[in-house]
């Protein structure tokens, strides 16, 4: 087992080690490349969950946030509770009329969050910087192509109707998941129905195991980052 020299570990690091995970440097720290004998480096046949807490993410909130972000050349979602994907793969989330979060790309090298953080620190814009790296864990639930098992899993732990015909791609819901406050974003991956979950970092383990428990009937299992990066190539 090789663990790269990294600065930030996922709050689930011990859980990943228990599953014989191999790690890779990514974003702000380390991510699971693949688990144990899962050297095929692909998604599970039915349903997968990935710990993406390594992704660099940041938020801004304030009356001048929209104007300032647009000045930085970022395309913003037009309405609250929606998301957009930028050409380099970063995801922009609009939580309200004055609050936006940015998630750096998983598959491509990107440091938009770092650039925005630096630019924000140099400016006197009326906008608060929200360090989401430390506040929110990030998980990604991915179905197999043509399957809605991710939506069926979510229906067991979330009261909002997230089925694909009711919850469009890049729609977002700020709601309760497994009784924890969470932000859920539908972000399909190469034709696979998929949801991002951002929830309290301190309860990351609880959320991880709650989702895994809900995934059991669909034979859902954890998958590593290689499943995304290799399939995207």
Partner 1 sequence: MKQLKCPLNGLRNITEFTYGGEFHVQPDPVECTKEEWVEYIFFHDNHAGEVVEWWCHSASSYWFVARRNTITDTVIETMSVADHMADSTAGHAPGNNTLKAQQVINRD
| Residues engaged in binding partner 1 (CB under 8 A) | 63, 80-81, 95-98, 159-160, 173-176, 181-183
Q: In DSSP terms, which residues pair with 173 in a beta bridge?
A: 184
* Angle, in degrees to the nearest 10, between helices 204-215 and 149-157: 120
Instruction: Give the angle subtended at the CA of 78 by the CAs of 136 and 98, to the nearest 5°.
Output: 55
Pick the closest to residue 185 from 220, 223, 158 (CA basis).
158
Q: How many residues does the chain have?
A: 233
Least distance CB 134 / partner 1 (angstroms): 17
Q: Considering the complex, what minimum distance in angstroms separates the CB of residue 176 from partner 1?
A: 5
What's the rounded Cα separation, in Å, for the pair 30 and 135? 17
DSSP structure class, residue 192: B
CB of 164 to partner 1, least distance (A): 18
Three-state DSSP state, 25:
strand
Distance in Å, CB of 84 to partner 1, minimum: 18
The DSSP-derived string for 98-159 is: TEEEEE--SSS---HHHHHHHHHHHS--S-EEE-HHHHEEEEEEEEPTT--HHHHHHHHHB-
**C-beta closer to partner 1: residue 174 or 229:** 174
Q: Residue 115 CB, nearest distance to partner 1 (Å)?
A: 27
Q: Cβ closer to partner 1: 9 or 61?
A: 61
Question: Which one, 95 or 194, has the nearer CB to partner 1?
Answer: 95
Closer to partner 1 by CB, 42 or 98: give it: 98
Decide whether 176 or 229 has the Cβ nearer to partner 1: 176
């Amino acid at each position: 087992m090789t663990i790269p020299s990294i600065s930030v570990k996922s709050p689930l690091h011990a859980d990943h080690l228990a599953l014989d995970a191999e790690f890779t440097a990514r974003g702000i720290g380390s991510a699971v490349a693949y688990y144990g004998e899962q050297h095929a480096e692909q998604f599970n046949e039915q349903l997968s969950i990935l710990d993406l807490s390594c992704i660099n993410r940041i938020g801004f909130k304030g009356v001048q946030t929209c104007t300032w972000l647009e000045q930085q050349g970022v395309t913003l979602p037009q309405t609250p509770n929606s998301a957009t994907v930028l050409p380099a793969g970063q995801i922009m989330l609009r939580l309200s009329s004055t609050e936006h979060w940015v998630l750096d790309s998983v598959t491509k090298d990107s440091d938009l969050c770092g650039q925005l953080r630096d630019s924000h620190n140099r400016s006197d814009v009326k906008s608060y910087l929200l360090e989401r790296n430390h506040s929110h864990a990030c998980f990604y639930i991915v179905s197999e192509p043509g399957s809605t098992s991710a939506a069926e899993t979510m229906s067991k732990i979330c009261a909002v109707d997230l089925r694909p015909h009711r919850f469009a791609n890049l729609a977002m819901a700020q709601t309760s998941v497994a009784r924890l406050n969470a932000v859920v974003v539908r972000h399909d991956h190469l034709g696979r129905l998929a949801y991002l979950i951002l929830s309290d970092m301190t309860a990351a383990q609880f959320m991880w195991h709650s989702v895994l428990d809900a995934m059991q009937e669909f034979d859902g299992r954890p998958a590593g980052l290689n499943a995304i990066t290799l399939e995207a190539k």
